[in-house]
Amino acid sequence: MVLPLIKTHFSPLRSLLTIEKEEKDVLPTGPQSIVLMWKKANPPGRLHLCEDTPTGFAEQYKTLSSLGIPFSFSLRLVVCEDMAIKNEESLKTEHKVIVLAKNSTGIADLNKIYTIAATEGFYYNPRIDLKRIEAMWTPNLKMIIPFYDSYLYNNVVSNGMCSFVTSIKPAAYLSEHNGIPTDTAMNAALSRRVDDAAIVKAQTIYYPEAKDFDAYLTMRIIDKKSSMDKPNLPDMCSDEFSFQKWTSTF
């Protein structure tokens, strides 16, 4: 089973997916509701939300619970070497981790971590260091290492100088394959560096279908303040980060 990592519009300018629970609230030519798509597809397992902020959790909880859709909530956090250091060099130490809330107390713990990241740690984006996460860590949380933008990915494929020294043992390292030219090699690199038993197949989901990639790319270009002729978005070539692709895996 491929783990779906769903981002919604509560991660600003990173997803075309919304969470309306009724068809009448969705325009056929507008953003589509992942809740309605999930209901229609009726897949096994949980709907895994993996957001950049916790701001939508209350509404997501209310909607999904009312429909009886089992789900989990996680935050994709930007982690750096030392959040007190705010300069260009510190950007090279940034990478991402996914922190999953195991229960409702975990949600409260996540909110506390995010609050520090968004205030004390903020530098262009909310971010936090592993030392602080460790200090705030509870048994209600689980850490997962994403495939893209992890410390491994940034060190191996990009110019990152990321360290991952922590007493928190990641529950899993995620593996994805979305047609990006480095995916195969990066998966091989992951297998060499991490115990295979810890690797879990996943699919990040930003939009409903491949045909929606044009709209997704437009949104990302607006956010970047670049242009269609020169998007300046590294590796932005794949239309496979879709719910449609994930449903084809089962």
Partner 1 sequence: MDKHLLRFDFKSKILFFDFETQNLNLYKDFDLPWQYGYVLFQGTKVLKRGTNYIWWGDDYVVSPGAAFVTRYSRKKHKECGVDPAVAFKDLDDVVGEADIIGGHHVLGFDIFMWRNFILQMGKKVPEFTDWRWLDTLALAKAIHFQQVPPKDRLEQFLFQHKMLKTWPGKGFKFTLEELLKQCKIQYDPDQLHDALADIELNVEYWHHLKKNIDI
Q: Return residues touching partner 1 (CB under 8 A).
A: 156-159, 179, 181-182, 184-186, 188-189, 213-214, 217, 228-231, 233-237, 239
Closer to partner 1 by CB, 47 or 157: give it.
157
For the chain, the first-to-last Cα distance in angstroms comes to: 7
Of 163 and 166, CB closest to partner 1: 163
Query: CA 179 to CA 182: how far, in whole Å?
Result: 8
Distance of closest approach, residue 230 Cβ to partner 1, in angstroms: 5
**Closest distance to partner 1 from the beta carbon of 217 (Å):** 6
Choice between 23 and 229, CB closer to partner 1: 229
Nearest distance, CB of residue 215 and partner 1, angstroms: 11
| CB 194 to partner 1: min, Å | 15
Q: What is the DSSP string of 156-188?
A: HHSS-------SPPPSEEEE---S-TTHHHHHH
Task: Compute the distance between CA of residue 78 and CA of residue 93 in angstroms, rounded to an integer.
Answer: 10
Minimum CB distance to partner 1 smaller for 138 or for 182? 182
